[in-house]
Structure 1
Amino acid sequence: MTAVGDLLAEVDAAGDPDTAEILARYFQVKPGGYGEGDRFIGVKLSTIRALLKPHLPADLPLADLEQALHSPVHEHRLAVLCVLAYRATRARRPRTTNPAELTEIHTLYLRNTARVNNWDLVDCSAAQIVGGYLADRPRDVLHTLIRSPLIWDRRIALIATHHFIRSGDATDLYALVPQVLDDPEDLIHKAAGWMLRETGARVSSTDLRAWLDLHAPSMPRTMLRYAVQHFPAEDRKHYLTLR
């Protein structure tokens, strides 16, 4: 068994049928749900992160990780994406910088976005792998992803901006969100609203309010509700009445 196979075997061993049933409902594997057809074995993210720790220094082969990303088991893909997110973050640190590996991980990720196929998989990886890679590069790919028919591509584009937002830059988010104001998917409304809320907290509440003054009337209510969640009660009420 390969080192990646050893890791996935440990994930399998931690599975719990009762937890699997709960997760399957939560992530909507039912017919017509956004997770339709996925398979859960019942391992929570906190458990997966604990299992990963001994494997992270081993630099598991990226080719083996990519192969494992095609596993039908949700938690296998989650474990792989956590490893890739860790490696992408490490590749940007001054003491462990590795531009070639960062590029390889970013490329691997983008050719497998169909396997990053639930919101938890996107949210644990997009900011580190896509946002981190694009931090000092042109960001045209975000505008390609946001127009994709694949819901996960669109969510990746939005969540990737979290990397920039944490550095005080909301420019890309403000350019992306208008493109999903009429998106049919609630998961996209939630992602956009979450990133807007983060922008208000980390970049500029004043700028967010100015942006909402223009766009709140045309925003999906869920998106708007997420965006103003941390506003004072009266301000929340004001913006929600605009919708």
Structure 2
Amino acid sequence: MASGVAELIASIDAVADPEAAAILTRFFQVKPGGYGEGDRMIGVKLSTIRALIKPYVRAGWPLPELERALASPIHEHRLAILALLAERAIRAAKPRTADPDESRALYELYLRNTRFVNNWDLVDCSAAPVVGGYLEHRPRDVLRTLVASPDRWERRIALVATHWFIRRGESADIYDLAARVLTDREDLIHKAAGWMLREAGKRVDADELLGFLDANAARMPRTMLRYSIEHLPADVRARYLAARRGC
């Protein structure tokens, strides 16, 4: 590992907290049968990690070095590398600092390493800028491939990636993808889909969300429905919940 990356990893290890690790281990279900089974927590919060990576965002470390670090068995190491990749992706997408080659390289690195993006916090801090940012002006067929994956984290990556589009006024992709996971058995997928639907209704077009709910509320997973209607008026929420109960 290169000295700069090693320095970052060492700074994370230096603030490890065993008591916090025990809490995070439970929170992220790092237990036999849990969705985070087999992971290792050392007890460093994302807010702390964001502060630690800040001096390195413009360091320009070679991507192969970051890719090697992403294979760490320590959750917080992977979280730091993904947060750093996300910051670089945001910078590569800005008009004043645009770097299409960097954007593509980050995207390709990410997709060949999804096995290390294996918990919801890892997905949520990185999928929108790295995947969504690259695909903003490109075909998005890969999202349909990811959302059909047997891997829950790849399905969540597809859904969360649409946040990039939603924040820029585009909502077609999330409605298409959400329809494809109506029968998904994973609560973490229901949460991600509902979250993105809520954001689409809030940021793009409330009537479009209502149209989707009119067509699908009765068969939506309960968690997805509750997340998606969270910002709607109380009477509207009640109507959709009643439709769900009456199915």
CA distance in 2, matches of 1:123, 1:220: 21
How far off its partner does 1:97 sit?
A: 1.1
Gaps of 5+ in 2: none
Cα distance, 1:80 vs structure 2: 0.1
The aligned residue for residue 140 of structure 2 is: 139
- The alpha-carbon deviation at position 96 of structure 1 amounts to 1.2
- Supply the AA of the counterpart residue of 1:108: L
SS of aligned partner of 2:78: helix
- 1:63 partner amino acid: P
TM-score normalised over the length of structure 2:
0.97
Deviations 1:5-40 (A, max 9, x none): 110000000100000000000000011000001000
How much has 1:57 moved relative to structure 2? 2.1
CA deviation vs aligned residue, 1:103-154 (integer Å, no higher than 9, x gap) = 0000000000110000000000000000000000000000000000000000
* Residue type at the aligned position of 1:146: V
Measure the CA separation in 2 of the matches of 1:192 and 1:92: 25
2 CA distance for matches of 1:149 and 1:83?
A: 27
- Secondary structure in structure 2 of the residue aligned to 1:58: coil
Q: Give the secondary-structure state (helix, strand or coil) at the position aligned to 2:50.
A: helix
- What code does the residue aligned with 2:236 have? D
1:166 aligns with 2:176: no
Give the alignment's Cα RMSD to 1 decimal. 0.7
**Residues of 2 paired with 1:118 and 1:83: CA distance?**
17
Letter in 1 for 2:163: H
Give CA-to-partner distance per residue, 1:140-181, whole Å, 9 cap, x none.
000000000000000000000000001111101111111111
User: Is 2:216 the counterpart of 1:187?
Assistant: no
| Residue in structure 2 matched with residue 70 of structure 1 by the alignment | 71
Does the CA-based 8 Å contact 2:58-2:88 persist in structure 1?
A: no
Q: Separation in 2 of the partners of 1:182 and 1:63?
A: 38
Aligned-residue sequence identity (percent) comes to: 63
Aligned to 2:218: 217
The answer for unaligned runs of 5 or more in structure 1 is none
What amino acid maps onto 1:4 in structure 2?
V
| Distance in 2 of aligned mates of 1:54 and 1:105 | 19
The size of the alignment, in residue pairs, is 243
Partner of 1:242: 243
- Return the offset for 1:92: 1.1
Contact 2:86 2:129 (C-alpha < 8 Å) held by counterparts: yes
Matches within 5 A, 1:86-105: 86-105=87-106
| TM superposition shift of 1:212 | 0.4
Normalised to the residue count of structure 1, the TM-score between the two structures is: 0.99
